[in-house]
Amino acid sequence: MKQTRRLIIQALITIVCVCIYSSCSGDDYINAIPGNSNALIAVDCKAVGEQTGQQDGRLLKSLFKVDDVEDCGIDLTSKLFFFETTDGNLGSCVKVNDEEKLKDWLTALSKDGTCSKPTEKREMTFTLLKGSWAVGFNGKAMIIIGPVLPAQQAEAIRSIAKYLKQEEDDGVKGSQLFEKLDSIDSPIAMVAQATALPEKISAPFTLGAPKEADASQIFIAAAMKTANNGCLNITGESFSFDKGIDKGLKENIAKFRKINGKYTSNIPGNTLCSIFMNVKGTDFVNMMKSNAGLGSLLAGMNTAIDMDNILRSVDGDLALGISSYSEEKISMTMAAQLAKSDFLEDVDYWKKSCPAGSSIENCGKNSFWFKSSDTNFWFGVSDSNEFYGSTDKDIAFSILKPSKTPLPAEVRKETEGQRFCMTLNLKQLLNDNKELTTFTDMLKPLFGDINNVIYCIK
């Protein structure tokens, strides 16, 4: 009887140990993701494959420029991760299920110059992919960082070696960022610190944050849908791990109302960034005052025109279009439904108080032209009590009508029933952002050719 009990106990212990080992080994490759990551994307390759009807391994096929990734030692059924670290590293983490097969596969690829011949060091293997991607792996994980310049390659390899040695306490798995990512039910999920995003597009994500909040305290959690007709759809929310900031953020975001679609066909399709919302002007002004990025859009005009007073008069749909955005110059367009237009009574005062070198001239009934050495802005109020304004004269006087070349139909449709939408023309955005080009090149195998990105709040 005692021997039987002992055998049963031993069997139970064995089962428990196996279960514990399995649960740990199943995702311990995630420990290799840097603990200082401030942006994470998780991709369930199997779910994406089922959703798109395409086979797994598209990312690897594209990255390694090969047709066959079957039986290469990489687990194509587990999630793959993209990350950005606070020190600027962009990379991905993939699960390894057979280290020796992976070595053999890369050795074969090195013969045609796809990568350098793999070298082993301290129970890890390293190679350089296509001359600019640093690759390292062990029996659990493969880390790819890049692109890196020749002078940066040694440092990238050292970083990878450090990441591969990490235990759970060192990696990202125990972080709040990963916990939030893991809670998003989507084949493709993202969590990112607002400061991890390109500066030109981060401002809308921090809209609604309390005045005392720092951009580093604001995060975006989002689910992504694979591209449809060149459009990548992202649904998400801004949040903060600071409870007080998060409460204020959610209270402000709740002030956005459903978009009626008044101006979604009016913004030209080649606009870099378009923002659509339905809001009460006084609420929006308070949000703008706490948002340095959006506030800078109107800074030039605010020296002579009381844009705050104009915005306080808004009640309904509001659209902002940003055609170009640099430290020297911002080109933008605005259209909005008004509750009142009594700010027109102040135009004569604005004319008299214009700073030296600037002026405001009449252009017709309730229509004006503000000009200075570095800014032109045409604005006015229509007979239907709508505000219009733009740094482009032609757009200013046509923005209240449908554009001849509007945003794509699938982009416009996506705004229906939403409370806040931001669209990005990726072609325009990539023209001057090499870092973002690298990131989108990494995502292209998953989403295909992306022309527009649309972000809507949950």
pLDDT tens track for 189-227:
999 998 888 766 677 788 888 878 888 899 999 998 876
Closest CA to 34 of 166, 148, 130: 166
User: E-assigned strands of 188-329?
Assistant: 188-193, 219-228, 231-239, 273-280, 314-325
Cross-strand bridge partners of residue 236: 222, 457
pLDDT given at position 432: 56
Residue 342 pLDDT: 95
Q: Provide the residue count of the chain.
A: 458
Which of 35-49, 150-164, 405-419 bottoms out in mean pLDDT, i.e. has the lowest? 35-49
Q: What is the mean pLDDT of the chain?
A: 84
Residue type for position 344: L
Give residue 242's pLDDT band: very low, low, confident or very high (50, 70, 90).
very high
Q: Which of 128, 422, 158 is nearest to 267 (CA)?
A: 422
Rounded CA separation 64/70 (Å): 13
Question: Which residue reads 């401002």 in tokens?
Answer: 203
Output the pLDDT for position 4.
44
Return the pLDDT at 439: 59
pTM above 0.85, yes or no: no
Nearest to 133 by CA among 457, 438, 383, 357: 438
Among residues 94, 73, 93, 78, which one has the least CA distance to residue 44? 78
Question: pLDDT tens-digit profile of 42-91?
Answer: 988 777 766 655 555 666 666 666 666 777 888 888 898 999 988 888 89
Q: For residues 313 and 366, is the Cβ–Cβ distance under 8 A?
A: no
Exposed (0-12), middle (13-18) or buried (19+): which is 381, by Cβ within 10 Å? buried
Condensed to tens digits (0 to 9), the pLDDT of residues 135-152 reads 999 999 999 998 888 999
Ranges 41-45, 119-123, 417-421: which has the least confidence: 41-45
Q: How many CB atoms lie within 10 A of CB 175?
A: 16
- End-to-end CA distance of the chain: give it in Å, rounded: 61
317: pLDDT strictly greater than 80: yes
Mean pLDDT of 95-118: 92
Lowest mean pLDDT segment, chosen from 7-16, 336-345, 408-417, 430-439: 7-16
Helix (H, G, I), strand (E, B) or coil at 423: strand
Q: Greatest CA separation found in the chain?
A: 103
